[in-house]
Chain A
Amino acid sequence: MGDLSPCVVYKQESTKHTFAIENLVEALTLSEAHPLASMAEPKTKYDRQLRIWGDQGQAALEKASICLLNCGPTGSGDIEKSCSWRSGKHNSHRWIQMDESSVGQSKAKCVCAFLQELNDALVEASLLRLDRICRQANIMLICARSYGLTGLVRISLKEHTVVESKPDHFLDDLRLNNPWPELKRFAESIDLNTTDPVVHKHIPYVVILVKIADDWAQAHGGRFPSSREEKGAFKELIKSKMIALDEDNYKEAVEASFKISAPQGITLQLLFLNAHELKQLVAIRRMYFTIHISGSSLHQIINDHSVEVDSTSSDFWVMVGALKSQLSEFISCDDVLDYCFSAIGELLYDLCQLSCRCYVNLQKIYQAKAEADFLAVEQQYRPIEEEFNSPSLPEMQKYLNDEDCRWLPIAIGFYILLRAVDRFAANYNRFPGIFDGELDEDIPSLKATAQAILNDLGCNGSTLMEDLTNDMCRYGGAELHAVAAFVGGVASQEAIKLITKQFVPMTGTFIFNGIDQKSQLLIL
C-alpha cells in the first residue's frame, strides 16, 4: 500500500458548521503537534477506538491526508476552530490551503483545506469536475451536503479494496440451510432422539438446527420455512423436541432459527495450507483468509486484469492473484465452493458440561472463529457524472414506487430535489426559497425543474411529491446544525473505513431524511 491515503471531503454547501471535519480531526492522532504525542499513553486516550481498528488502522489514519473543500468564507476559521474545539490544538501542517488545480497535482501530498467561494451556478458542474480530477489522481472523494431537513453523502473513487472487513458476526453465514459435507456428516452422527437427558441437553444448537431444518425441508418439498407462519411453525417444531425445560441448547436453536431462512451469501473461506505466496503473505497474521465478494462474482474478480500481480499491486490483488493460482488446481469454482465455509463467532454451544470432544469436533469443522477473519472486499464506484446521466432506471423506479413508504417516497424525492435545486441555482443564480417574497413563485419553478430532471432520466416521475417540493422551497438552502452534524458524522465514518481499509464502506448515495429519519441508500 502507498504511503498516503489521500482523501477529499467535499462539502457542497458552504456552511457555518464545519461538520465532517470535526469528527475526522478527532479520529486522527495529530502527531507531533498534539499535546498528547509527548505523553507516554496515547494508547489510553485512543483505547476505545483502537479496540475497533487496532494499531494498523490508527497508523493509517495518522498517515492520511485530508482535504476539505468548500467550507465557505468562514471555512478556514472554522477548521481552526473545530480543530481546537475538538483537539485542543490546531495542527497547522496538516491543513494547508490549496486551490482546485493543485488537487490534481497532489498525488504525493494531498494536504489541504480548499476554500472555494461558492458560485451557485456551478455547484453541479464543479462537483463533476472535481470528481474527474480526483479519479485521475486516485484520490478518494467524499461528498457531503446539508440542505434543510435533507442532505447526502456519496463516495467516489475508482475502486476500493478492503483487507479486513471485520464483519460484525458470521451468524448469517452459517450455511445452515446448505451444510457442506463435513457438517452434514457430523450432524448425522448425532442422534436428536437420544434418551440420555445429559447428552440431549448438550447437543450443539447448530446441529439441532441443521437436523430439524432437514426434517422440515423433507416434509415441505425441499423448501425451508419462509413465511412468518412457517417460521413460527418451525420454532414450534424445535420446541416440541425439548425433553426438559432447562435445555438452553434448544432455546438457542429457537433464537437462531431465522438463520435457516437467511439468504445464502457468497462468503467463501478457503483453507490455503499449500499456497506458498499466501503463506508468505498471511503468515504474519493468519494461516488462512476469507474472501468475501460483494457485488461481483468470484469469476469476475478472478478474471479481472489486476490479478496480473506485480510489485505495485495492493495487498488485495496479491491475495486474489494467489487465490487464482490456487484455484487452477481445482476443477471448477463449484468444487471450490465445497471447500468453503464460513467462520463463526461466539455461537458455539456454551454450556459447562458440554463434552469437549463434541465441541472440538464441531469447532474443527467450522475452523475457529473470529481469529479467522481475514476478509477481503472489493467495491467499485461509478463516476458521479455517469450516475447523474444514466442512473439505473429499474432501481430508480423501484425507489419511486417504494411500497414500504406509506405516503411519499421521501428519500428518492430528496435525491431528485437536491439535483433540482442545483439546476434551479444554475438558472436563477440562487437557491429556491431564499427570499420570502419569491417563495410562492419558486415552488412551481422548482417543481418544473424536478419534473424535467425525471423526464431527462426517462422516469415517469408520477406526481412528484408536491408536499416535498413545497418543503424544499421552504428550506431555502438553510443549513441546520443537527442535519450537518449527522451528515458529517456519516461522512467521517465512511472516511475512517476508507482510510483504514477496514470494514466495508457504503456504496451508492446516502440520502438523509430529516423528516421521519427514514434515510436511504440509493444505488443508482
Chain B
Amino acid sequence: MAGSLTGSGGGGGGNRWRDLDRLLTRPGNIVGPTFDPSPELRSELQQYVRVLVVGAGGLGCELLKDLALSGFVNLEVIDMDRIEVSNLNRQFLFRLQDVGKPKAEVAAKRVMERVKGVNIVPHFCRIEDKDLDFYNKFNIIALGLDSVEARSYINAVACTFLEYNSEDKPDEDSMKPIVDGGTEGFKGHARVIMPGVTPCFECTIWLFPPQVKFPLCTLAETPRTAAHCIEYAHLIKWDEVHGGKPFDADDPEHMQWVYSEAAKRAELFGIPGVTYSFTQGVVKNIIPAIASTNAIISAACTLEALKIASGCSKTMTNYLTYNGLEGLHTKVTEFVRDKDCLVCGPGTLLELDPSTTLQKFIELVGDHPKLQLSKASVTHRGKNLYMQAPPVLEEMTRSNLNLPLYELMDKVPKDVVHVAGTVNKDDKKTSALRKLRVVFKGIDGVTDMDTANGA
C-alpha cells in the first residue's frame, strides 16, 4: 500500500490533489459552518476563488508558493519594490540575475513555471494606485507586508466593502477576509481578519506601537549606546556638516560617513559596538529575517486561507504568535473588536442638511474631530463624486463640488459614502479610507431599509 501513501511529485497527474481532496470531499466533525464537502468542491474553489497577495518579499514569495501548492489557481500579487541582493537569503523565488527587476513580476513568473495550472497576475505598483474595484474582485487578501501603514491601508480597503444590515449586523457576503503575517528573526505572527466579526487591523493597532525614537538631547549630550552614537551622526552631525544636503541611506558613501562619525563618537564616550553593519541596521531600521520563520508564518496564513475558502476546518480565532528564540512558544489570542472602530464599524455617522454641497461636505470631513481626513476624494456606490487625482478625473468631477450632496446621491435619505484622503498620524501623512453614514436631516425617514443598506 506504500504507493497510496506517497506523493506523486509536484508534476501533476490525475491524483495531484488527492491529499487535498481527502479533506474537501469527506465530511468532518470539526469543520467550518459552511463546509459542504463534495467531489466538486476543489474545482469550484479553483474556478471561483481569487486571492490577492500583497507584497512579494520574504512572506510574499512563500505565500504565493504555498497558495499555489494548496490548490488555489487564481492569484494576483502586488508589490512596488525591485529585487535587492539582501533579499536573496530568503526570497527564494529570486536569483542574483533578477536583482533590479520588479519583485511581483519575477515572483509570479517563477511560481507559474513550477506549479502547472496556476495563474498569477503581477502588479508592479503601489497599493494606493489600485482602485476599489480592483480589490473588490478578490475573495481573500493575504498580506506579506513589513509596514504598519500598508497593513492599515489594505485593512481599510477590505473594510470598505463591509455592509451592515438594518440591525447593524455585518452582512456575511460583503466580508472580505484578510490573512496577515509578519516576522522578525525567530518570531512571527499570523492573524485572520474577518471584517465585522474579528477585530480589524485598526481595532488592535496598539499591537504595533510607534517606533521608539531617541530624544535628540540624549544623542547630543548623554549617549550611552552604540545606537545613540549612530543616530547622533545620522540625525545631527550629518546636517551640521553637509548643511541641507539630504542623507541617502542607499548611498554607500553616505553610510560610510555616518559610520566613521559614529565610530569616533563611540570612541570618545568609550561605547563599544559600533560596526558598519550595525550602523546600516540602525539607520535603515533593518529587521533581521530568516527563511524558516517566513515559511512557518506564511504556511499558517495559507492554511487559514484554505479553511476560509473551503470551510474544511474551523479557523483560528484570531491571532497566532510564534517565538522560536528560547525554546518554542506559540499562542493563539482571541482579540476583541473595538466597538467604536472607525474602520470596520458601520461607519461614522454624519447628519447633513440636504442643501450641503459636496465642497462643504469635503470641508466637514476635514474638520471632523474623529476623521480629520484632508484632501478627500468621495465615492458613492462605486460612482466617483469627486476625485483629487488623477488630473483628468479631477477635472471631470470638479463641477460636482458646487452641487448638493443629496442630489449627487440620487436623493436617498441616507446611505454609505466612501471617502479617501490623508490623515496625520505620528507626524506622518498616511493614506486613509473611511466609511461614512450620511443621513440627510428633514427628509422623510420612512424609507425602505434596503436602500439604506445597499444591495
| Residue B286 CB within 8 A of the other chain | yes
User: Most chain-B CB neighbours within 10 Å: which of A72, A486, A496?
Assistant: A486
Give, as a whole number of angstroms, the nearest-CB distance from A247 to chain B.
14
Give, as a whole number of angstroms, the nearest-CB distance from B8 to chain A.
6
CA distance A516 to B330 in the complex (A): 12
CA distance A16 to B12 in the complex (A): 11
Residue of B1, B289, B299 touching A49 (CB-CB under 8 A): B289
Q: Is the CB of B313 within 8 A of A149?
A: yes
CA distance A520 to B28 in the complex (A): 22
CA distance A455 to B317 in the complex (A): 34
Q: What B residues does A484 contact at CB under 8 A?
A: 299
CA distance A477 to B2 in the complex (A): 11
What's the interface size class on A, roughly? 35 or more
Q: Is the CB of B70 within 8 A of A482?
A: yes
CA distance A434 to B8 in the complex (A): 16
| Closest Cβ neighbor of B225 among chain A residues | A346
Q: Is the CB of A353 within 8 A of B217?
A: yes
Q: What A residues does B14 contact at CB under 8 A?
A: none
Known contacts A36-B96, A118-B2, A348-B224; A506 and B7 CB within 8 A of each other: no
| Residue A383 CB within 8 A of the other chain | no
Q: Is the CB of B324 within 8 A of A483?
A: no
Q: What B residues does A468 contact at CB under 8 A?
A: 29-30
CA distance A317 to B109 in the complex (A): 51
Q: Is the CB of B324 within 8 A of A481?
A: no
Q: Is the CB of A482 within 8 A of B299?
A: yes
Give, as a whole number of angstroms, the nearest-CB distance from B382 to chain A.
35
| Residue B235 CB within 8 A of the other chain | no
Q: What B residues does A118 contact at CB under 8 A?
A: 2, 5-6
Q: Is the CB of A48 within 8 A of B70?
A: no
- On chain B, the number of residues with a Cβ less than 8 Å from chain A's Cβ atoms is 83
**Chain B 274-299 against A: per-residue CB contact (8 Å), 1 yes, 0 no?**
00010011000011111111111011
| Residue A104 CB within 8 A of the other chain | no
**Chain A 398-438 against B: per-residue CB contact (8 Å), 1 yes, 0 no?**
00000000000000000000000000000001110110100
User: Most chain-A CB neighbours within 10 Å: which of B313, B316, B324?
Assistant: B324
Q: Is the CB of A47 within 8 A of B313?
A: no
Q: What A residues does B95 contact at CB under 8 A?
A: 35, 88
| Residue B262 CB within 8 A of the other chain | no
Residue of B8, B303, B306, B330 touching A74 (CB-CB under 8 A): B8
| Residue A478 CB within 8 A of the other chain | yes
- The A190-238 residues at the B interface (CB cut-off 8 A) are none
Q: Is the CB of B222 within 8 A of A352?
A: yes
| Residue A515 CB within 8 A of the other chain | yes
Known contacts A50-B277, A51-B277; A356 and B317 CB within 8 A of each other: no
- The A473-491 residues at the B interface (CB cut-off 8 A) are 474-486, 488-490
| Residue B66 CB within 8 A of the other chain | yes
Q: Is the CB of A493 within 8 A of B292?
A: yes
| Residue A367 CB within 8 A of the other chain | no
Q: Is the CB of A489 within 8 A of B299?
A: yes
Residue of A27, A35, A120 touching B292 (CB-CB under 8 A): A27
CA distance A387 to B273 in the complex (A): 45
| Closest Cβ neighbor of A248 among chain B residues | B215
Q: Is the CB of B86 within 8 A of A482?
A: no
Q: Is the CB of B23 within 8 A of A474?
A: yes
| Residue B85 CB within 8 A of the other chain | yes
**Chain B 71-102 against A: per-residue CB contact (8 Å), 1 yes, 0 no?**
00000000000000110111010011000000
Known contacts A48-B290, A492-B295, A504-B326; A518 and B332 CB within 8 A of each other: yes
| Residue A182 CB within 8 A of the other chain | no
| Closest Cβ neighbor of B114 among chain A residues | A85
Q: Is the CB of A47 within 8 A of B86?
A: yes
Q: What B residues does A49 contact at CB under 8 A?
A: 89-90, 288-290
Give, as a whole number of angstroms, the nearest-CB distance from B108 to chain A.
15
Q: Is the CB of B299 within 8 A of A483?
A: yes
Q: Is the CB of B292 within 8 A of A471?
A: no
Q: Is the CB of A486 within 8 A of B299?
A: yes
CA distance A88 to B93 in the complex (A): 9
Q: Is the CB of B66 within 8 A of A489?
A: no
Known contacts A23-B291, A117-B2, A352-B218; A505 and B327 CB within 8 A of each other: yes
| Residue B9 CB within 8 A of the other chain | yes
| Closest Cβ neighbor of A78 among chain B residues | B9
Known contacts A489-B296, A518-B332; A73 and B218 CB within 8 A of each other: no
- The B201-229 residues at the A interface (CB cut-off 8 A) are 214-218, 221-222, 224-225
**Chain A 490-509 against B: per-residue CB contact (8 Å), 1 yes, 0 no?**
10111011000001111100
CA distance A165 to B326 in the complex (A): 7
- Can you list 7 residue pairs at the A/B interface with Cβ under 8 Å? A49-B289, A433-B22, A475-B23, A480-B70, A490-B324, A493-B293, A517-B320
Please name the 7 residue pairs, one residue from A and one from B, whose CB atoms are nearest each other, closest first. Answer: A16-B7, A352-B217, A489-B295, A489-B296, A486-B299, A485-B299, A506-B328
Binding site for A on B (CB under 8 A): 1-2, 4-10, 18-20, 22-23, 26-30, 62, 66, 69-70, 85-86, 88-90, 92, 95-96, 114, 185-187, 190, 214-218, 221-222, 224-225, 272-273, 277, 280-281, 286-296, 298-300, 302-304, 306, 313-317, 320, 323-330, 332
A-B contacts besides A118-B6, A480-B70, 11 pairs, CB < 8 Å: A14-B5, A88-B95, A149-B313, A352-B222, A434-B1, A474-B28, A478-B20, A482-B70, A496-B290, A510-B328, A517-B316
Binding site for B on A (CB under 8 A): 13-17, 19, 22-24, 26-27, 35-36, 39, 41, 44-52, 72-74, 77-78, 81, 85-88, 117-120, 148-149, 165-168, 346, 348, 350-354, 356, 359, 363, 369, 371, 429-431, 433-434, 436, 439, 466-468, 470-471, 474-486, 488-490, 492-494, 496-497, 503-507, 510, 514-521
